[in-house]
Amino acid sequence: MNDNTFSAESVHGAAPGDAVPADHDAAAIDADWPLYEVFVRGKRGLNHVHVGSLHAADDQMALRHARDVYTRRNEGVSIWVVRADAITASSPTEKDPFFAPSGDKVYRHPTFYSIPDNVPHM
Amino acid sequence: MHTANDDTTDHDSAYSGLVDLDEHDQWAFGTSFDDPLAGVDTTLADGIDGADLATYCLMLGDDALICAQRLTQWCAHAPELEEEVALANIGLDLLGQARLLLARAAAADPSVVPALPVGSPVPAEDALAFFRDESDFRCLRLVELDNGDFACSVVRLLAFSAHRLALLARLRASRDPVLAAVAAKGVKEVTYHRDYAARWLITLAQGTDESRRRTTEAIALVWPYVAEMFDPHPVEKRLAAAEAAVDSSTVRPEFDAVMTEIFTAAGLPHPQAVAAARVGGRAGRDGIHTEALGFLLAEMQSVARAHPTGRW
């Protein structure tokens, strides 16, 4: 019996690290379902809005889980799901070069036009 | 119904078109709830016996109630959080159906409702759910069986929802307007339940050796109780003749066709099982149940029974 048998990781059921040989090959079933991001178009809104995330084994299951988890209170008329690892996100470290330059360009807003009453959803 | 193009639409706010003007407007999400019995005539149609209708409503209502209770027992035990919410949602759908059906039973024949102390605020449908004894329950034995493992619950839900969907689809034409309305609401719900269970059955059967073994064992446990679902009770036959109910033996071909499709997709043989024995020719519809129902009712009813004048 060596010390590694009772390492903190194994006691707490943590996932084996890279150094620990897994007892199944790469084709075996992953115990953790991949993460999906969920977008719902509500009756009130015009766009699909990000509402949260969930785990599912595949796209169809993700859609059904989204229905069960995020539209229980009559929120939605349409759902999009996408695997979280398929999303390319901007980095927080790039916040300033990305977004600060638009902070003072007031002329880019259509505030100098009068919007007719019957133009909705501006 | 309100639309953004009504003449009365307020153009002061560009966002007003996004807000529906139904009630419950205080909620940011989730609006426009429908009352399934809104505008439904609740008087008893000619040629429909009140006592028979009450018994039939108890049968369908108890199926939903007991199945809902079993699904609820998965809370905090399901294999994944998302599945837990899915199972609870299905249970809530069925509980909603049970509530309407038990209320209809009480309206059709008030004598079925257990007597409670004077001044008790318990509504009739709650009295039927929480103060009836086991032998007065009319549910199928299939719905009262222990949950077993996840595969067992999936197989039971598949059999039950396929049976109930076929039944409710026909019941939409019932001469009893309340039954027809409950069926119209229920068809949409149970369609999802059957889809949920069928997908899981195929997934489990095509998964690992272990999941397939458990699924096969689950089918062997559940299928003896399938035949009972299609055994029409005399009350059911009388009401079917009055075009108020559906003779459950008539939905067997549809059930079998759906099962053939699903079991073929799952790569499983079509289940063959010897039907569970009846007791003196009687079973769940007659109030003869398995030992599982007593334990279920004890858990479900004990708090309500301890406080018969309680307000919840």
Rounded to the nearest angstrom, the minimum Cα separation between A31 and chain B is: 11
**Average pLDDT of span A40-47:** 74
Residues of chain A contacting B, Cβ within 8 Å: 29, 33, 42-46, 54-57, 60-61, 64-65, 68-69, 72-75, 115, 117-122
- Asked if the structure places residue B98 within a domain, the reply is yes
> A-chain residues within 8 Å CB-CB of B203?
57
Provide the whole-model pTM: 0.81
Question: Chain-wide mean pLDDT for chain B?
Answer: 88
CATH architecture label of A29-90: Roll (3.10)
User: In the structure, what pLDDT confidence band is assigned to residue B132 with cuts at 50, 70 and 90?
Assistant: very high
Q: Which CA distances in Å does A61 have to A57, B83, B153, B222, B236?
A: 6, 10, 18, 25, 38
DSSP B23-62: S-TT-SS------TTTT---SPPTT--HHHHHHHHHHHHH
* Euclidean distance between CA atoms B10 and B194, whole angstroms: 44
- Asked if the structure places residue B4 within a domain, the reply is no
Largest CA distance in chain A: 80
Q: Indicate whether A57 pLDDT > 60.
A: yes
Largest CA distance in chain B: 73
- Say what the pLDDT of residue B204 is: 95
Alpha helices in chain B (DSSP H): 50-72, 81-108, 124-130, 141-144, 150-171, 177-205, 209-222, 234-241, 252-266, 291-306
In terms of residue numbers, what domain contains B226? Answer: 50-304
Q: Indicate whether A23 pLDDT > 50.
A: no
For chain A, list the strands marked E by DSSP: 35-42, 49-55, 76-83
Encode pLDDT of B210-260 as tens digits: 999 999 999 999 999 999 999 999 999 999 999 999 999 999 999 999 999
Question: Chain-wide mean pLDDT for chain A?
Answer: 74
For residue A33, the tally of other CB atoms under 10 A from its CB is 16
- Asked if the structure places residue B76 within a domain, the reply is yes
Is the predicted ipTM greater than 0.85, yes or no? no
- Asked if the structure places residue B43 within a domain, the reply is no
- Asked if the structure places residue B35 within a domain, the reply is no
- Asked if the structure places residue B73 within a domain, the reply is yes
Rounded to the nearest angstrom, the minimum Cα separation between A120 and chain B is: 4
CATH code at position B162:
1.20.1260.10
Q: Indicate whether B23 pLDDT > 70.
A: no
- Say what the pLDDT of residue B13 is: 47
> How many domains does chain B contain in total?
1
Which residues on neighbouring strands pair with residue A53, listed in sequence order? A37
| Token pair for B243 | 């075009």
| Token pair for A72 | 């229980």
* Euclidean distance between CA atoms B162 and A116, whole angstroms: 54
**Average pLDDT of span B70-99:** 93
Percent of chain B with pLDDT over 90: 74
Per domain, the residue ranges of chain A are 29-90
For B204, list phi and psi in degrees, rounded to 5. -70, -40
CA B183 from chain center: how many Å? 10
Pair A39, A25: CB distance under 8 Å: no
- Asked if the structure places residue B113 within a domain, the reply is yes
Choose the closest CB to A73 out of B11, B30, B80.
B30
* Euclidean distance between CA atoms B91 and B99, whole angstroms: 12
Q: Measured in Å, how far apart are chain A's first and last C-alpha atoms? A: 69
For CA atoms B284, B287, B289, B293, give the dihedral sign: positive
Q: Do B82 and A75 touch (CB under 8 A)?
A: no
